[in-house]
Each structure stands twice: as structure tokens, then as C-alpha cells.
Amino acid sequence: MEAKVKDRIASWSERWNTGNTGWHVAGVNHCLMEYGEALLPSGSRRRVFIPLCGKTVDLKWFYDGGHEVVGVEAVEKCVLEFFAENSLKYVTETLTWAKVFRTECNRLKIYCCDLMDVELEALGKFDAVWDRGSLVAIYEEDRKKYAALMKSLLTPDFKYLLSTLVYTPTESFNGPPRNVPTELVEELYGDVCKVEVLGSQEDEGRAKKWNLKFFTEYIYLLTPKTQ
Ligand SMILES: C[S@@+](CC[C@H](N)C(=O)[O-])C[C@H]1O[C@@H](n2cnc3c(N)ncnc32)[C@H](O)[C@@H]1O
């Protein structure tokens, strides 16, 4: 078990160290541009959670929108790059389970640790979640724990925007990013969430790159089941 946990982070650390970070985009994610309104009811300040945040500029996009943003990322190198590349000053704090990097105003915070080790009470609850390159990045065997953890962080009127990828895994490519079909999203979140597909888009470039018949990005809005 211990070896697996070390391996979980080591492979990502290796990717950051060698620049094997093809998922990282320079601009704000296109799904957020298109569907961000569904996540953020206008005029309200939200607490936004970005699991496995890497150094996505989406963190800054939410911050610039006046929201409180919390990310979790295991690899310190990219957390440092995030603050440097976005010209944001930060202070650090060392907890028993994470090193925290935060703006002085405390409105943007990245916990540097394994997501599976977070102290849920310390993170607090979130009105909004932006999950891109996260559920699709984790090991299959971590998925149930991941979904339980995510669901435990939601406020009663949450909105959770989830980006997944669907393809037929082959011997030469089975991720990450991993294949996460709609049935799996339902299985993991359907007990407490209404699962709505907002859109989907073929990515012929990545299908070709990995020699797959198709590679489709899906975007879901998860909301409380009772509403
Ligand atoms: C595919 S990248 C996606 C990053 C970001 N969400 C984006 O859209 O650019 C996955 C990120 O999660 C981090 N990561 C992987 N497993 C993790 C874990 N168990 N806990 C915290 N971070 C993790 C990796 O270092 C990497 O930066």
C-alpha cells in the first residue's frame, strides 16, 4: 500500500520534472469559458475547489472573478511555478499533512499534498468544484475514495463542473487520462448528484496521437439530487 502511494505521486513528479505535461494549457480552459456560468450563479462569491490543480491558470481566473479558490496539488514544483508565472505573491504555512501556499489575502490557497491525505475539516465546504484532469487522472482503485471525498466537501447547494474523457482503451494507451464513461460518473456520484451532460467534443488530434478510434471530452454539471 505504501509503495503504491509513493508511486502515485512519483510518476507525476517525474512528469513535471521532465516537462511531460501535455495537459497543461496556457489559457483558461475552454469548457470553463463556455460553461463557467452554469457553475457560478452571477453576482455571488463562491468557494471554489480545484482538486489536482497542477498550475492551471483557471485558479487565477476564479480568483480574478472575486471568488475564494482552493486547490490541492502534490508536486511543489508546479505550485511554485503557478505563483511565479501569475505574478502572485504568496506566504507558506506547514501543516502536519500539507504545505500550504496562499496569497496574503487568503483568497487563493493551494495545499501541497496527496489529495488522499487531506484533512477534510480543514478544507471546509465548497459551493463550486472544477474537476478537470482530476477524476480522469487518478488510479481506478482510488475512484470510490476520491468520489466519497469530493462529495463530503460539498455545500447543500453545490455546483460541480466535471470534465471527463471517453475512449476505448488499448494495449498501447490506457491513460492517464483514463477512460471515464457516463455510467461510471453515475455510479460514483449518482447517489447524491443529479448528473447532466452539458456537452461533448471530439478531439481528433489526441485520438490520432494515441492511435485511438475516438477520443471524446464530456462536460457534466452535477447538482444536488433533491433540487
Ligand atoms: C492531469 S494533471 C491536471 C492538472 C489541472 N487540473 C489542469 O487541468 O491543468 C493532474 C495533476 O494532479 C497532480 N496529482 C496527481 N495525483 C495527485 C494526488 N493524489 N494528489 C494531489 N495531486 C495529484 C499531478 O501532479 C498533476 O499536476
Q: Is the CB of 112 under 6 A from ligand 1?
A: no
Q: By alpha-carbon position, which residue is closest to atom 6 of ligand 1?
A: 53
At 133-182, the pLDDT tens digits run 999 999 999 999 999 999 999 999 999 999 999 999 999 999 899 999 99
Q: Choose the residue to mutate in 52, 76, 86, 149 for probing ligand 1, maximizing ligand atoms within 8 Å of C-beta.
A: 52
Q: By alpha-carbon position, which residue is closest to atom 25 of ligand 1?
A: 12
**Residue 5 pLDDT:** 54
194 exposed, middle or buried (CB, 10 Å; 0-12, 13-18, 19+)? Answer: middle
Q: Is there a contact between 196 and 220 (Cβ–Cβ < 8 Å)? A: yes
Q: Is the CB of 8 under 6 A from ligand 1?
A: yes
Rg, C-alpha atoms of the chain: 17
Q: How far apart are CA 13 and CA 76, in angstroms?
A: 9
Q: Is the CB of 131 under 6 A from ligand 1?
A: no
Q: Is the CB of 132 under 6 A from ligand 1?
A: yes
Q: Is the CB of 74 under 6 A from ligand 1?
A: yes
Q: How far apart are CA 12 and CA 61, in angstroms?
A: 24
Q: Which residue stretches of the chain have pLDDT < 70?
A: 1-6, 227
CA dist list (Å): 113 to 33, 72, 199: 28, 7, 32
HEC states along 95-117?
CCCCEEEECCCCCEEEEECCHHH
Q: Looking at the domain that runs over 2-19+27-38+45-224, which CATH code has it been given?
A: 3.40.50.150
Q: By alpha-carbon position, which residue is closest to atom 3 of ligand 1?
A: 133
Q: Where are the domains of the chain?
A: 2-19+27-38+45-224
**Residue 1 pLDDT:** 46
**Residue 4 pLDDT:** 57
**Closest of 203, 199, 197 to residue 215, by C-alpha:** 203
Q: How far apart are CA 227 and CA 204, in angstroms?
A: 36
**Residue 42 pLDDT:** 78
